[in-house]
């Protein structure tokens, strides 16, 4: 289980806080400990780079059967394994021949799926998504990829679902599991035995079956991009990025998209995508990536397509490529490398956007930009 530091900060007498994955590692039952990796003394390591280097070396001496963690950090872990054992093929079977299960969550898996399929090639690894949050364990995959996660309904959580377009209204419609409909994007609201009451979780989901209830996580409320009326949700952006990457036969490790506002009358606004590919790509591929991205966004969302076709609508998306490892370096500079920290897929804070761009430019990490 690759997570954050297990060290906790005491907030008040009897009350401590820390990284969710670190807390989970601390709370592993005693009867599981003999079969759990890493041991607590190594899980306590706070520095992420020191931790994955240490764990990569140590893990090779263990019979690892299951790996759990956020996809982006698991990929970094396997990259470290390749550094430790450059004499072996970069496949999971090279390091853990008996690996059977990969549990993942926290981010949309689609941009990472092809990389893991390559990594697990020749093995019998089953990839299963789980939907966990600090507030509770929401759902888990009980079927194949893309067939939804089964909502867990018998452990002290009462679920409500608010249609996405009503989440800001004064009196939104509040559905329970008995009244939800298929194909609607809902914001998740929880009431729990831990004391939460009608708490807006921040995630958006869509039901794919009702009996039993299964959902697909479509994004975050903050990952909703509609500066120009395009009404893009996280799921649509993720799918378009994956389609564009496939069009140039490349893997996207991380990315973020931010709106570009018109700076003078008559100028059209649009979107800027900062994209990190798994390898340094030829900048001449970027225009093709941008075109495929634009077309895929239009296929995913009719509002986006309409605004792109209008003479006074949106400009084509701009794409900037950054060197491999750039987003990890940015997170490290902010003291947020590893654990539950993730790159924000949609970035609308102008101050953070400027800081991110300045960091990449100062570190000379941007090497290609479309017009």
Q: How far apart are CA 154 and CA 157, in angstroms?
A: 7
Chain mean position to CA 308:
27
The reported pTM is: 0.74
Q: Is the pLDDT of residue 310 over 80?
A: no
What CATH number belongs to 224-369? Answer: 3.30.300.30
pLDDT, tens digit (0-9, with 9 covering 90-100), for 205-233: 999 999 999 999 988 887 788 888 888 88
Instruction: List pLDDT tens digits, range 161-197.
Output: 999 889 889 999 999 999 999 999 999 999 999 899 9
Sequence ranges of the domains in the chain: 9-131, 146-220, 224-369
Contacts of 229 (CB under 8 A, 6+ apart): 303, 307
Q: What does the longest C-alpha to C-alpha distance in the chain come to?
A: 67
Closest listed residue to residue 234, CA positions, set 276, 200, 203: 203
């Amino acid at each position: 289980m690759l997570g954050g530091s297990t060290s906790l900060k005491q907030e008040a007498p009897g009350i401590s806080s820390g990284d969710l994955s670190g807390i989970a590692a601390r709370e592993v039952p005693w009867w599981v400990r003999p079969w759990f990796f890493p041991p607590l003394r190594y899980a306590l390591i706070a520095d992420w780079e020191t931790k994955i280097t240490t764990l990569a070396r140590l893990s090779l001496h263990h019979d690892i059967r299951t790996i759990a963690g956020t996809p982006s950090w698991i990929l970094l872990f396997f990259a470290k394994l390749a550094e430790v054992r450059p004499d072996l093929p970069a496949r999971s079977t090279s390091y853990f021949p008996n690996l059977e299960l990969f549990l993942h969550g926290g981010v949309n898996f689609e941009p990472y799926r092809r990389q893991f399929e390559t990594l697990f090639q020749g093995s019998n690894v089953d990839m299963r998504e789980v939907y966990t949050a600090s507030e509770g364990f929401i759902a888990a995959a009980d079927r194949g990829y893309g067939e939804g996660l089964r909502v867990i309904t018998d452990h002290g959580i009462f679920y409500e679902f608010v249609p996405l377009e009503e989440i800001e209204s004064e009196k939104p419609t509040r559905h329970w599991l008995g009244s939800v409909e298929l194909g609607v994007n809902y914001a998740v609201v929880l009431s729990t035995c831990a004391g939460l009451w009608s708490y807006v979780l921040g995630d958006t989901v869509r039901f794919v079956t009702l009996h039993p209830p299964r959902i697909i996580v479509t994004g975050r409320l903050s990952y909703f991009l509609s500066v120009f009326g395009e009404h893009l949700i996280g799921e649509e952006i993720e799918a378009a990025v994956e389609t564009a990457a496939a069009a140039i036969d490349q893997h996207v490790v991380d990315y973020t998209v931010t709106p570009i506002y018109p700076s003078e009358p008559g100028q059209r606004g649009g979107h800027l995508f900062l994209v990190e590919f798994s390898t340094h790509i030829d900048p001449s591929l970027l225009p093709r990536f941008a075109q495929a991205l634009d077309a895929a966004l239009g296929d995913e969302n009719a509002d986006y397509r309409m605004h792109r076709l209008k003479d006074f609508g949106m400009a084509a998306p701009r794409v900037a490529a950054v060197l491999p490892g750039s987003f990890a370096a940015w997170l490290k500079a902010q003291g947020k490398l590893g654990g539950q920290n993730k790159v924000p897929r949609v970035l609308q804070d102008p101050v953070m956007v400027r800081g991110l761009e300045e960091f990449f430019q100062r570190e000379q990490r941007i090497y290609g930009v479309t017009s």
